[in-house]
Structures are given as C-alpha cells and as structure tokens.
Structure 1
C-alpha cells in the first residue's frame, strides 16, 4: 500500500503491516519517506486513542497543513481495541493524499 501526493511517495508498506483504525490506514513509522513530514503545532485529543501529533506534508512544490497524524503514546485500551500496537504509526488525510 502506498501513500502519495503530487507524485511524491509519502509511505510504502505491505498490507500486512498496515493498521486500520476507524477507516484510516496507519503506516508503520519506518515506511514513511524521510523528509516528507514536518511536525505541526496543531493539538488534538481523541477520547479513546489519546493525544495525536499532527504533521504537515511537504513536497517540493507545496506544504499540506495537518495532512498526516500519529499517536505517539496511544492509550493501552486503544491498542487492545485495535488489536495491534499502532504507536507512532502514521495516517494521512485521504481528501488530499492518495492511498492505493
């Protein structure tokens, strides 16, 4: 599975390494292309997953604000509910990023 925007590869991982949570596909941290994500100051808290960290996606021609996020320290109950430890896994805003 690949995540791309403006023809730039953001992440690439085999399906068995992707974690699906509430319709979003989360990519393992080591599958994300280095240099494409820049930490955003945007705060967000999910009641059941915990505090999210947002990222701006950077391409050579544009910066997409808050187009990716992860849970650096998800709640243990969230990990149990999902059935997989998704700590640090990155999801992308599918209205701007193509997932295929």
Structure 2
C-alpha cells in the first residue's frame, strides 16, 4: 500500500501509483479530499502539459502548492490524467502492489 503523509496525517492511500520522473502519482479516488484545496497556481511542463496545484490543510497548518495534477495532459502523459503527486515535505511511503496478471 502506498501512502502520502503530511503533518502526521495520511492524505492519500492506494495499492498502486503511477511513477513518472521519480514521482508517485496517486489516483484521484485515493485522495482524502477534506485536506485539499485548489490553488490558483499553474505551471507548464513541455511534455506533460499544464499542472494545477493544491494547498494542503492538516491540523490547521497550510502547505501551499504541495500537490499537483494534470487535468488535461498531453497525449504522452495521458496515463497520469487527474492523478496527484506531492512534494514540499509530503512523505510518500510504502510498497506498490503489482498489477494483477491478465486472465485469458
């Protein structure tokens, strides 16, 4: 199980993330949304597209722009659409589970 932790609280948890450029991208359904607020900040990655940011609020403390996602990624990055990655003190830990073997 993979977890993203900030300020002593698990803010996202999932069996599998998508790893891109050394970052684990968590699926949108794995986020504990009560800790996330959309930020007006954006940035541009030449191959992934425009990133949107989230500010985390845990136990009354703010961590501005500590999470980001690509809601409309380029075709090369479509596998991380709406997935969220972290930085700025957020600890990502755990072991990614392997994908189930295909049947048939």
**Please, what TM-score do these two structures have when normalized by structure 2?**
0.84
CA shift digits 1:26-48 (9 cap, x unpaired): 00000000211111111201000
Q: For the aligned residues, what is the CA RMSD? A: 1.0
Counterparts of 2:69 and 2:53, CA distance in 1 = 7
Q: Which has the larger radius of gyration?
A: 2
Counterparts of 1:8 and 1:59, CA distance in 2 = 7
Offset at residue 86 of structure 1 (A) = 1.3
Counterparts of 2:86 and 2:62, CA distance in 1 = 14
1:87 aligns with 2:81: yes
Q: Tell me the equivalent position of 2:22.
A: 23
1:6 aligns with 2:7: yes
**Please, what TM-score do these two structures have when normalized by structure 1?**
0.87
CA shift digits 1:40-74 (9 cap, x unpaired): 11120100000001010111230001100000011
- Stretches of 4+ aligned residues off by more than 6 angstroms: none
- Report how many aligned residue pairs link the two structures: 92
* Unmatched segments (≥5 aa) in structure 1: 80-84
Offset at residue 9 of structure 1 (A) = 1.1
* Unmatched segments (≥5 aa) in structure 2: 94-104
Q: Tell me the equivalent position of 1:98.
A: 91
